Amino acid sequence: MTRRYKAQPSPLTALRMRIPARKALEPDMRKYFAICDQKIGFLPNVLAAYSFDPRKLRAFVDMYNDLMLEDSRLSKLEREMIAVVVSAANRCYYCLTAHGQAVRQMSGDPSLGELLVMNYRVARLTKRQRAMLDFAHKLTVAPAETGAADRRQLRRAGFSDRDVWDITAVAAFFNMTNRVATAVDMMPNEEYHALSR
């Protein structure tokens, strides 16, 4: 697996940042990377890119894992759907590739992943999903206009106040990572393209 990582032929990003060898990582991060290798089959480039600075890597991993993997009334698939809809609005190549694949895999429906990448409005969704994605989309493209009326729409679709926080937090997080990935021209791992088709 280390081999695959080292062999990465194209640069991770447009910035020349010295990426440490894996063995130079702190033990818990080395372990985390190994788990990625196992579970995903490769190390997502975003993690390699952030590893130039241990503190930034850890802050990113902690926030990501809390939002996407910890307890929430939003299912993991729903969180990935938000990730894709936000990334589509921002046209982030890295995040659309990685999280589009996650939606294809978790939903077992390849065309759902494509729909969310291309135009989520066209997808056949439940009322709950539609409300969730409409909120995430508006918060992305018109944050200054998102407010009480939009929260009401979420509540009408059955979401609690805590759910509103979680939808918000995931949508906001990808508004951050989309901008990091695009600004530094981060390239996704080639492996994503063929998976879960």
Smallest gap, in angstroms, from Cβ of residue 42 to a copy of itself? 15
Return residues touching a copy of itself (CB under 8 A). 14-17, 55-56, 58-60, 62-63, 66, 70, 90-93, 96-97, 110-111, 114-115, 117-119, 121-122, 135, 139-140, 143-148, 150-151, 161-162, 164-165, 168-169, 171-173, 175-180, 182-185, 190, 193-194, 197
Shortest CB 39 distance to a copy of itself, Å:
21
CA distance 140 to 158: 22
What is the nearest approach in angstroms of a copy of itself to the Cβ of residue 126?
Answer: 15
Nearer CB in complex with a copy of itself: 43/170? 170
Query: What is the residue-wise DSSP string for 26-46?
Result: -HHHHHHHHHHHHHHSS--HH
| Min separation Cβ 107 and a copy of itself, Å | 13
CB closer to a copy of itself out of 54 and 128: 54
Are the C-beta atoms of 127 and 105 separated by less than 8 Å?
A: no
Tokens of 177: 């990572």
Query: Hey, what amino acid is at 65?
Result: N
Burial (CB < 10 A; 0-12, 13-18, 19+), residue 28, is exposed
* Cβ proximity of 159 and 167 under 8 Å: yes
Q: Decide whether 34 or 172 has the Cβ nearer to a copy of itself.
A: 172
Q: Minimum CB separation from a copy of itself for residue 108, in Å?
A: 13
| Size (the chain), residues | 197
